[in-house]
Amino acid sequence: MSSRRPFIVGNWKMHKTVAETVGYVAEFASHLPSSSSGCDMAIAPPFTALSSAVAAAHGTTLQVFAQNVAAEGPSGAFTGEVSAAMLKEVGCQGVIVGHSERRRYYGETDAVGAMKTRRALDAQLLPIVCLGETLAERESGAALEVIARQLRAITDTLTDADVHRIVIAYEPVWAIGTGQAATPDIAQQMHRHIRAIWEATFGASADTLRILYGGSVTADNIAEFTALSDVDGALVGGASLSPSGFANLVRGALATSPASQGV
Ligand code: PGA
């Protein structure tokens, strides 16, 4: 069990209109257990719904994150891009960086992920940096090495002031949207690996680094992950789309977390 404060993040991907977002936030709040103050929670709606999500979540502990941010900035001729300062202005607290769908469908490299992380940090946004190996990489025995490479691309660019302002998500590509989550053993091994690299680079800050697991997390299996000593929460896709389901998932995370129970 982790002693760090749990963090549960819903990545909505390309789902939900403004009207659906506003309805979701109201319903989610009505399903939340009173113990939810023991956990950090965020949703990541599409860009068009961010402002409405922020307004709807006002006065609650639900945070709003973006799913992506421009690598360039603070402004310029970059058609279709949204800068970190723009996300900050509408009230986002953070942003997901380097999701495997961005890497796979939009050609984002480790270097681009590092630039986006820098932009987020400079705009006082909390980056959630996603790492994950493909099935082929796992089957060829390269999983640890791939994660190390992806992580070093980020750690190489961080200053000492940044190291407490970043969250890592381990999301094996083969587990995303497949219904086939990683086993607890795999998740614990990979999270430990990430924390060990962080510790070798930044020392004791590894103790407070939050590492989320992502890939087919549901209300039924969340507790298996949050019970692990190096798993500090989850990045959730499909199972975050229903407000009652996502509230149940938060309940499952709270059940296993000593941090959330003030222990
Ligand atoms: P999933 O997606 O929970 O639907 O597997 C996770 C993610 O892509 O962050």
Q: How confident is the model at residue 263 (pLDDT cuts 50, 70, 90)?
A: very low
Q: Is residue 261's pLDDT more than 70?
A: no
Compute the average pLDDT of residues 241-250. 97
Mutate to test the pocket of ligand 1, among 68, 236, 240, 242 (most ligand atoms within 8 A of CB): 236
HEC sequence for 131-176 = ECCCHHHHHCCCHHHHHHHHHHHHHCCCCCCCCCCCEEEECCHHHC
CA of 203 to the centre of ligand 1 (A): 30
- Count how many residues are written for the chain: 263
Question: Which tokens hold the place of 29?
Answer: 């709040």
Instruction: Look at residue 262 in the predicted model and tell me its pLDDT.
Output: 43
How do residues 12-69 score in pLDDT, each as one tens digit? 999 999 999 999 999 999 998 888 888 999 999 999 999 999 999 999 999 999 999 9
Instruction: Look at residue 256 in the predicted model and tell me its pLDDT.
Output: 85
CA of 76 to the centre of ligand 1 (A): 32
